[in-house]
Amino acid sequence: MKNIKKNIILFIIISVLVLYFILINDYKEIIEVLLNSKKIIIIQILAVILIGDIIKAYSLYLIIKKNKKEIKLIDCIKLTFITNFFNGITPFSLGGQPFQLYNLKKEHNLNYSTSISILFKDFYSYQIALVFLLSLALIINKIFNILILNNFIKKLIILGFILNIVVLIFLVLLPFNKNNYSKIINVILNFINKFKELKDRENLQIKIENRIINLKNELKEINKNLNLIFKCSLLNIIKILSLCFAAYLSIYSITNNINFMYTILITILVLNIGSIIPVPGGSFGIEMAFLSLFSVFVTNIKLKAAMILWRACSYYLPVIFGGYVLVFNKRK
């Protein structure tokens, strides 16, 4: 409970700082633009975000159903909403999966081994979807030369892409790799030990090796369920695209002068940058990337207003609503 409170405080502080730096010089103009935006489109943005979350929940539902036939879609929808809360208040979105693990054990009586297997398949499907869309976006941009990127943004995009694709390649190749990982783990632990003395090192090495073996077994299990992974990856692609469509609607609600395909491509790159920023919600990184990449197409004040609207609908409101669902669920 203490960690949750600390994370909520961190979330609030970062949110206030982000809004302060965005609004500091132009707050009157930005508020005026937001007040004059097309209200019906704001409802559409919220609907798109909600549909995206339901699609994500359905992907999780398909995976859980393989192990627990009685699971209901509504349970997975509630779990997805609450996961938004925990992901939103923790760096790198690391808080969601531990809660899912706890929920699957407590609410659905699934043992930890089965729950870990479920969550791993869910993560694997999402990683495939993200790398696919990133690759597509970068290829399209290279062919048509849509964006002129400054060096800093270009480096962030490349770093994000490399990290995501390395993770996916590692997960794909690990089951077929027969190497003994003891030497590699030993080198890593030696390096860490130079900076901080490791206690009970032998047991730590054994635990790491056992986790790698378990991971390899999970990946082999995935190879037996490729049809399921394919379906869930498609659903995760739609989920990610829903965030991109919400970005398009956010800009469109303020100015009609925006290309749909350009918006989708840019938002994928923005989300890529956000995935490597080590603060809750990828804050600062996502806002900076959004303003930088869209600046060619939208004027400064309107762009800031559109970005605030998009982040409010796609990040802040889902976190707040997820927190409400968590509290409501506990009271029940």
pLDDT at res. 81: 97
The pTM (predicted TM-score) of the whole model is: 0.88
pLDDT at res. 261: 93
pLDDT at res. 105: 85
Low-confidence ranges of the chain (pLDDT < 70): 1-2, 173-199, 201, 204-205, 208-209, 211-213, 215-216, 218-220, 223, 331-332
Condensed to tens digits (0 to 9), the pLDDT of residues 8-64 reads 999 999 999 999 999 998 999 999 999 999 999 999 999 999 999 999 999 999 999
Mapped to the 3 state alphabet, what secondary structure does the chain carry? CHHHHHHHHHHHHHHHHHHHHHHCCCHHHHHHHHHCCCHHHHHHHHHHHHHHHHHHHHHHHHHHHCCCCCCCHHHHHHHHHHHHHHHHCCECCCCHHHHHHHHHHHCCCCCHHHHHHHHHHHHHHHHHHHHHHHHHHHHHHHHHCCCCCCHHHHHHHHHHHHHHHHHHHHHHHHHHCCCCCHHHHHHHHHHHHHHCCCCCHHHHHHHHHHHHHHHHHHHHHHHCCHHHHHHHHHHHHHHHHHHHHHHHHHHHCCCCCCCHHHHHHHHHHHHHHHCCCCCECCCCHHHHHHHHHHCCCCCHHHHHHHHHHHHHHHHHHHHHHHHHHHHHHHHC
pLDDT at res. 198: 62
pLDDT at res. 174: 60
